[in-house]
Chains A and B, each alone.
Chain A
Amino acid sequence: EAEVAQSPRYKITEKSQAVAFWCDPISGHATLYWYRQILGQGPELLVQFQDESVVDDSQLPKDRFSAERLKGVDSTLKIQPAELGDSAMYLCASSLGGSIYGYTFGSGTRLTVV
């Protein structure tokens, strides 16, 4: 079964440092999402791509977070500088075309900021 690849699986960083996460969606999935999940809560959308274009980044803290999907395939989410409150699971998901299809999530990156 096709999977969404994410790396790294775990990341520990000091506050004020930069950190980056990578996601490779299922081949052919045009829509890619980055979600943040705080322990005990549901995933919250950070940014949505349709091919290489950002469709929704209204919940992305743009002063410190950036995301790109340059060739419409894999994607990178960056945080600079990291803050203690950024500690969470960062999940990447892809779908064939938006919310009318089920999402396939990657295994996520568990970020701890110390």
Chain B
Amino acid sequence: GQQVMQIPQYQHVQEGEDFTTYCNSSTTLSNIQWYKQRPGGHPVFLIQLVKSGEVKKQKRLTFQFGEAKKNSSLHITATQTTDVGTYFCAGPSSGNKLVFGAGTILRVKS
């Protein structure tokens, strides 16, 4: 079945540094979604990308969807302690359901 792989598994940055997580799918995706899960919390929807090569921004967060619609990235500029958490990408699979990656854990040192 379809798999969604994320790298890195874990990243520890100094506050103010940038952070990027990458997501790769074994198949072409109709869309890709990103979620954030704070420690002890639940996943919260951040954004959905649909078009090939699409780039969307939310303040310091920049999301990209690859030209082949098989990969995506999330970049955070100048991380803050509030960015701490696990970032998941998710892509639709057969049966209209989302398959989640294993996530990238972000820790920020202040």
Chain A residues within 8 Å of B, Cβ to Cβ: 31, 33, 35, 40-45, 48, 55-56, 91, 93, 98-108
Closest CB in chain A relative to B59 CB, distance in Å: 18
Interface residues of B in 23-49 (CB under 8 A from A): 30-31, 33, 35, 41-45, 48
- Find chain A residues with CB under 8 A from B103 CB: 41-42
Contact assessment for B31 and A100 in the assembled complex, using a CB-CB cutoff below 8 Å: yes
The answer to whether residues A105 and B97 also contact, given A41-B102, A42-B103 and a CB cut-off of 8 A, is no
Partner of B96, one of A98, A102, A104, A107: A98
Classify the interface of chain B: helix, strand, loop or mixed.
strand
Are A99's CB and B100's CB within 8 A?
no
Chain B residues in 8 Å Cβ range of A106: 42
Q: How long is the Cα–Cα vector from A43 to B41 in the complex, in angstroms? A: 13
Q: How far is it, in angstroms, between the C-alpha of A76 and the C-alpha of B101 when the chains are bound?
A: 26
Contacts of A45 in B (CB 8 A): 97-99
Docked-complex contact B92 and A100, CB < 8 angstroms: yes
With A42-B100, A48-B96, A56-B95 known, 20 other A-B pairs at CB within 8 A are A31-B96, A33-B97, A40-B102, A42-B101, A42-B103, A43-B88, A44-B100, A45-B97, A48-B97, A55-B97, A91-B42, A91-B43, A93-B43, A98-B96, A98-B97, A99-B93, A99-B98, A101-B48, A102-B45, A103-B98
Complex-state Cα separation, A40 to B43, whole angstroms = 13
Assuming the contacts A33-B97, A56-B97, asked whether A99 and B43 have C-beta atoms less than 8 A apart, the reply is: no
A63 to chain B, nearest CB (A): 22
Please, how many angstroms separate the alpha-carbon atoms of A45 and B99 in the complex?
Answer: 8
For residue B100, give the distance in angstroms from its CB to the closest CB of chain A.
4
Set of chain A residues within 8 Å of B95, measured between Cβ atoms: 48, 55-56
Q: Which residue of A lies closest to B48 (CB)?
A: A102
In the complex, A41→B95 CA distance in Å? Answer: 22
> Which chain A residues lie closer than 8 Å to B88 at the CB level?
42-43
